[in-house]
Structure 1
């Protein structure tokens, strides 16, 4: 949990947009991993295995509604609460300007960009995590980069020079 807790909670937050639900999912991920540790064959890294579990739980919980709701405003949550490291990471993630542009892209492209750049998974690991052929992941990642560049360019952030 110490080594992979941040990536699990960030991934859950990315999928759900809700800090409390992300915390619940994170707990569920580690409980499931503990119960199923004997089934881990080592074909992938522990990080990839936990990311796969996280993605699957998020998909189960969110079903088709992924990304349709805006993230919960941390400022509107329990006042006076001490901010944890996870909450701080979630806040930074939410405020990321690039992430706001990523969230405007179609769902499959959001997912591969997040897993590649934010979760720091390789295309092979993403392929395992989302049960999609690696070639398809590479194709989605390429298209996502192109779409993101166009999206950011619309806002005038990228200046041709």
Structure 2
């Protein structure tokens, strides 16, 4: 938990947008990992295995209603610190433009960018985690970068005088 707890919590928060639900999911993830430790074959890194469990737990909890609420930037979460309601409201109002643009993308593109850039997982690790071919992950990353670039260009052109 010390080594990967923050990554698991941030991933759950990224998927759910709810700190309390993310904390519950994080606890479930580590319970599942503890119970299934003997089944872990070591085919992937422990971090990849835990993030995979986290993604699946979030999908189970949230179903197709993921991202109905706009989550705040997960980098704002601080380990071991409870955020007050006021801080959470201010954080939601001041969330980064990049995250707002990221959330306009389709879920597979959001997921690819988050796992690749934020959690620093390789395309092979992401493919294993999602049960998709590595080429599909690379394609999602490519299309997500293009879509994000279009969103950023569109946003910049609307703010020009």
Query: Secondary structure at the residue paired with 1:104?
Result: coil
Q: TM-score, normalised by structure 1?
A: 0.83
Moved segments of 4+, more than 6 Å: 91-94
CA–CA distance in structure 1, aligned partners of residues 134 and 80 of structure 2: 30
Structure 2 unaligned residues grouped into runs of 5+: none
Q: Would the alpha carbon gap of residues 9 and 98 (structure 1) be closer, same or farther in structure 2, given more than 3 Å must change? A: same
Q: Is 1:85 the counterpart of 2:79 in the alignment?
A: yes
Query: Secondary structure at the residue paired with 1:85?
Result: coil
Query: Secondary structure at the residue paired with 2:135?
Result: helix
Q: Would the alpha carbon gap of residues 102 and 84 (structure 1) be closer, same or farther in structure 2, given more than 3 Å must change? A: closer
| 8 Å contact from structure 2 (residues 70, 103) kept in 1 | no
State the superposition RMSD in angstroms. 2.3
Q: Would the alpha carbon gap of residues 133 and 86 (structure 1) be closer, same or farther in structure 2, given more than 3 Å must change? A: farther
Aligned length: 146
Deviation at 1:88, TM superposition (A): 7.8
